[in-house]
Amino acid sequence: MHRLLVVIATAILTLAACAPAPQPAAQPSGQPVTDWDRLVEAAKREGTVSVIGPTGDDRRTVLTEPFEKKYGITVEFLGDNGPGVPPRISSERGAGLYLWDLFVGGTTTCLESLAPMGVLHPLEPVLLLPEVTDPASWRGGQLEFVDDARSILAMTPFQRGTLFINPNLVRADEIKSYRDLLDPKWKGKLVIDDPRKAGAGQATFTFFYRHPELGADFIRALARQEPLILRDYLQQLDGVGQGRYPLVIGSSDAIAEQRIKSGVPIAIVDPRQIKEGSDVSPASGALTLFNNQPHPNAARLYVNWLLSKEGQTAFAQGTGYISSRVDVPTDHTFPWRVPMPGAVKTYDQEAMVVKDEVLPFVTEIFGR
């Protein structure tokens, strides 16, 4: 049924180009309940929850199969890393269609696009399980909402890797500070993920910009090293693994770990050995609930499951992330992934403001 609705939506949007703007349809019906046992029953009657989440079979698996097995409720899943979500929601709702219950992805998409569109629902009223609402369950003694409306929750802040090397060409221990990359020997040999687009490179350069010992002067000096700017993570990391590039700045942790597990000669430099450390980000581990959900009870059940120890363990182990829950194991990934106290954040509202400064700055430095 859900897929049929998506097909219908496409036809409606095609007709909308030559027809008067549609009038808003009635809001999705159904009243959410608050008692847990009644919630489970009501969710099972709805039978479906619709989730937009990150791409990749591993992400899809952990966000669908465990929940379906536990509750017998179908998870309709759409993989999108973020850029396609706001225009999709805008187009569908412009046609009076409310097809999606929640989004798991990056905070940038949530803060800079979805929240301003007015399509999000506060999360706190939806949280029912004591193990979810108990502040002691969470690192820092609280759930970390990144917006004033408390509708966007960072589930998985972890220490990011920022430098990716071929260990046959570069010794990890020779990089003690990012300023070591300003050595003349690196001129013309560095690769960076394009900081002018949303992604790991932009987060890395936001970190450089915000760090009190780096800042704009460091970025200017790095640009004088004449780095090669690439936009594709696979091209960057496969180039490192094949020995064409000795070092990449600001690429994808997840893809790097996949290559490492496959035996490709790539290493992520431990940020604990770098003087300035690295930034903390949840990557695609932010959670938000759309308002006017088509399946309000199944959506509430799913949110509580995902934030439980069971849900967070599955999500963290399936993605390689570190859950903010203190009772979720961390032995499935590098020990340095656990956030260091005082680490620079590149995912909260303040970081979004800084990114607004970083984008024109790096565009000026590196060109368009």
pLDDT tens-digit profile of 101-118? Answer: 999 999 999 999 999 999
**What is the C-alpha to C-alpha distance for residues 250 and 248, in angstroms, rounded to an integer?**
7
Quick one: which of 132, 141, 162, 79 has its CA closest to 346? 162
Q: How far is CA 3 from CA 9, 50, 99, 102, in A?
A: 10, 11, 10, 17
343 DSSP 8-state letter: P
Q: How far is CA 148 from CA 82, 144, 153, 350, in A?
A: 21, 11, 11, 12
- What is residue 8's predicted lDDT score, i.e. its pLDDT? 42
What are 154-196's pLDDT values in tens digits? 999 999 999 999 999 999 999 999 999 999 999 999 999 999 9
pTM given for the model: 0.84
**């509580």: which residue's tokens?**
304
Which region among 32-36, 218-222, 271-275, 346-350 has the lowest average model confidence (pLDDT)? 32-36
152 DSSP 8-state letter: E
Cβ 83 vs Cβ 198: under 8 Å: yes
Asked whether residue 1 carries a pLDDT value surpassing 80, the answer given is no
Burial class (CB in 10 A: 0-12, 13-18, 19+), 365: middle
Asked whether residue 19 carries a pLDDT value surpassing 70, the answer given is no
Q: Taking residues 240-265, report their average pLDDT.
A: 95
Domains annotated for the chain, with CATH where assigned, are: 25-158+282-337 (3.40.190.10), 161-278+349-366 (3.40.190.10)
Q: Place 7 in a pLDDT band, splitting at 50, 70 and 90.
A: very low
DSSP string, 260-322: HHTT-S-EE--GGGSTT---EE-TT-EEEEESS-SSHHHHHHHHHHHHSHHHHHHHHHHHT--
